[in-house]
A and B are shown apart, each in its own frame.
Chain A
Amino acid sequence: AQSVAQPEDQVNVAEGNPLTVKCTYSVSGNPYLFWYVQYPNRGLQFLLKYITGDNLVKGSYGFEAEFNKSQTSFHLKKPSALVSDSALYFCAVRDIWTGFQKLVFGTGTRLLVSP
């Protein structure tokens, strides 16, 4: 079955420093990978996706993600963190076995950016 793992429950970083939120995947066939962010009392917002092509994907709010096939990883990154980036981040993968209709989510990583 398709799955993603987010090994860190929480990531702490100081404002202005680079941040990385980790995600590894396990899929059959080509992976279709996504990152979403959830701010308090809000729904999920789409950040970026990897379908094919360049391994470095750029998304919303200055975020980017690096697809690494050999390490089966899709880590989310930002060169300089903002306090407003503090939120819950989810990695997700399309489930090939349901005709790609289903999104399978990781357990989420809480990002705390301190001033």
Chain B
Amino acid sequence: SAVISQKPSRDICQRGTSLTIQCQVDSQVTMMFWYRQQPGQSLTLIATANQGSEATYESGFVIDKFPISRPNLTFSTLTVSNMSPEDSSIYLCSVGSTEPYNEQFFGPGTRLTVL
């Protein structure tokens, strides 16, 4: 299984600012995903990030608000832009393969609080 780290682990930010979350994997992976977990809620997929191509965003999420980079096969960043208190959530990255029977592995998450 892949070992995934995220930075920062938590942050408290002021509204109107932006935060970039980093996700580092200890091995090369094809597919990386970014999820949001709002307080007391389930996980919602924000976007899929494949190396060498633009990220694919889910309905309700746009690139201007959540720009994603995927410069290589072991690293990705998610930026939460122009934050509001509604963006307070846990943001998780995960990695997977194109095979449907393989599980995804998740990072420890970044807990974001926006004041």
Chain A contacts to B: CB under 8 angstroms: 32, 34, 36, 41-46, 49, 51, 90, 94, 96, 99-103, 105-108
* Given A101-B31, A107-B42, A108-B42, CB of A43 within 8 Å of CB of B92: yes
Q: Which residues of A contact B48 (CB under 8 A)?
A: 101-102
Q: Which residues of A contact B31 (CB under 8 A)?
A: 101
Question: In the bound complex, how far is the Cα of B48 from the Cα of A51, in angstroms?
Answer: 23
What is the minimal beta-carbon distance from A12 to any residue of chain B, in angstroms? 18
Question: In the bound complex, how far is the Cα of B111 from the Cα of A99, in angstroms?
Answer: 30
A-B pair count, CB < 8 Å, reads 51
* Given A44-B92, A51-B101, CB of A105 within 8 Å of CB of B42: yes
CB atoms of B101 and A49 under 8 A apart: yes
Of all A-B residue pairs in the complex, the 3 with the closest CB atoms, nearest first, are A100-B100, A44-B106, A51-B101
CB atoms of A42 and B42 under 8 A apart: no
Question: In the bound complex, how far is the Cα of B4 from the Cα of A9, in angstroms?
Answer: 29
B108 interface residue, CB < 8 Å from A?
Answer: yes
B98 interface residue, CB < 8 Å from A?
Answer: yes
- Contact residue among A41, A46, A108 (Cβ-Cβ distance under 8 Å from B105): A46
CB atoms of B100 and A32 under 8 A apart: yes
Question: In the bound complex, how far is the Cα of B41 from the Cα of A105, in angstroms?
Answer: 10
Which has the most chain A C-beta neighbours within 10 Å: B31, B42, B45? B42
What is the minimal beta-carbon distance from A47 to any residue of chain B, in angstroms? 9
